[in-house]
Each structure stands twice: as structure tokens, then as C-alpha cells.
Amino acid sequence: MTIKKISKYIILYGIAIAMILPFLWMISTSFKSANEIFTIPIKWIPSSFNFNNFSKAISSFPFVRFFMNSVTVTIFIIIGQLVTSVMAAYAFARMEFKGKNLLFVILLAGLMLPAQTIMIPMILILKELHLLNTLPGIIVPFTWSALIVFLLRQFFMKIPKEIEEAAMIDGCSTFRIVTSIVLPISKPILSTSFILIFIYAWNQYFWPLLIVNKEELYTLQLGLAYFKEVNAIETDWGALMAGTTLTLLPVIIVFVIFQKKVIESIAFSGGKE
């Protein structure tokens, strides 16, 4: 192994450790007693594992209700984005229609537009539709994604056209081709898209904060902020970190389940046509 490769690995491992340390501190803190949390030097392994922090996190605010709100929002955003993105991506990849290239350029331009610039117009539209202070108000504006359309379109273009042409000769409709041929082949990129959408939808904070002011409609991210506000006089950091760990757990589980498909997606995209 050359010095160049060794240096590269050292830098990469250094960056990885720097990124993972805050998460390790969070998980470690969720098991610590109050007097161990801010000890210097940092005590990474607690003297005794304190599971009371988790029971406090769940009982101190409506954790289950906020969790179910997050699950509902995330599921509908995932379904909406996958359905609309698959249809749009297939149209851009395989169909010919007037203004296709222009529309695709406009779509890509949307990727460069900060979400904050369109939030006021979206709020005004939702107000007219009477969707403020509702879960649909959190969901509907995010049932499409330019990034996911772009990723799927690039993947669809790598699928050999001969497969679809053979299906057309056999009398398959476009819908049947997409559902029975294109989507099964596209499982790796669909899994990657699923992870990206899940992380984005699950971790939303700013948009629900703008749309919702009823406690019963809070998502888990707002719930953690609510927990800290309730304990503003003296923040229970152990319970807060326990709640944050529980919030992060679904993201880790989803990634572990789908990581193999993500690697397959990268390998396919990097292969020769």
C-alpha cells in the first residue's frame, strides 16, 4: 500500500470519526445519570446504564402521539413522491413530447431554488385551501421531488430499450411496462430514493413549525423542541438525548435494511451501458 493510499484512508477515517462522535455522545448521554453528563474528560461509557431517561422521555410529553403523526406524514410523503417521481421520470426518460427538454431544465433549476423562497407562497395557497393546522398541510407540498425525478430518470435511461420494445410487441400497455418491467429492475434506485425521502420527511422541522400550532398535530421533531420548552428551567439532558435517540432509531433501521440496495444502485449507475 502506497503512502498516498495510507494518507487517503487516514483522512477518510478522521472525517468519519469526527462525524460519528456527536452521535456516540448522544447515545452515551441517553444512558447516563445527571451528574455524569458534563464530566470532564467525557465519560463515554456510563458507570451504570440508566434506562429511566427513556421512560422520562416517553412520559414527559405525548411521545406516542407525536411519533404516530411523524409516521403518518412520512408514509404519505414517501408514497406521494415515489408515485409522482416514477411517472415524471419515465416520461422524461422514454416518452417524446413537445417542450420535454425545456421542462427538464426547469425541473433541474428547481433543485437550485432554496425551499425557503417558496414557503410564503405555499402558506398562502394552503390558507386558501383551508389546510393550515392540518397534517395534509404538512404533507401535500412535499408529495413531489425534483431530485428523486432526476435520480429515477437517469436510472431509467440505462435500462435497455429492447426490453420495453419486446413488451410492446407482446401488447403490453405503458402502465404494464412500468409496473411489471421497469420498477422490478429499478429496485436499487427505488430503495435509494426511499431512504432519501424517508430521512427528509422524518426529519422535517421548519415546515411543520410554520404550519402547525396545535399540540395534537406536532411531529416528533416539534415534540422534542416542546419537551425542551416544558423543561426550560432546567433541561433534563439525559431524557432529551434519550428522546433524540429514539427519534433517530427509525432512520438507522431503514438505512440498515436498504443499504445493500443502495450499493447495488451505485454499482449499476457506474457500470457500462
Q: CA 20 → CA 24, 27, 62, 142, 208, distances in Å? A: 6, 11, 29, 29, 27
- Over residues 21-72, the pLDDT tens digits come to 888 888 888 888 877 777 778 777 887 787 888 888 888 778 888 999 999 9
Residue type, 126: L
**How many Cβ atoms sit within 10 Å of the Cβ of residue 72?**
14
Q: d(Cα 65, Cα 217) in Å, to the nearest integer?
A: 8
Of 37, 33, 79, give the one whose Cα is nearest residue 56.
33
* 269 within 8 A of 154, measured Cβ to Cβ: yes
Report cis status (omega within 30 of 0) of the bond before 121: no
Residue type, 70: S
pTM, 2 dp: 0.83
Per-residue pLDDT of the chain (273 residues; tens, 9 = 90+): 688 888 888 898 899 888 888 888 888 888 888 777 777 787 778 877 878 888 888 887 788 889 999 999 999 999 999 999 999 999 998 888 888 889 988 888 888 888 778 888 889 999 999 999 999 999 998 998 888 999 899 889 888 888 888 888 888 888 888 888 888 888 888 888 888 899 889 988 888 888 888 888 899 888 887 776 666 556 677 888 888 888 888 888 888 887 776 666 655 554 444
- Over residues 210-232, the pLDDT tens digits come to 888 888 889 988 888 777 666 65
Q: d(Cα 211, Cα 261) in Å, to the nearest integer?
A: 35
Q: d(Cα 66, Cα 68) in Å, to the nearest integer?
A: 5
Residue type, 226: Y
Residues sharing a CB contact under 8 Å with residue 224, sequence separation 6 or more, in sequence order = 240, 243, 244, 247
Of 111, 106, 147, 126, give the one whose Cα is nearest residue 207.
126
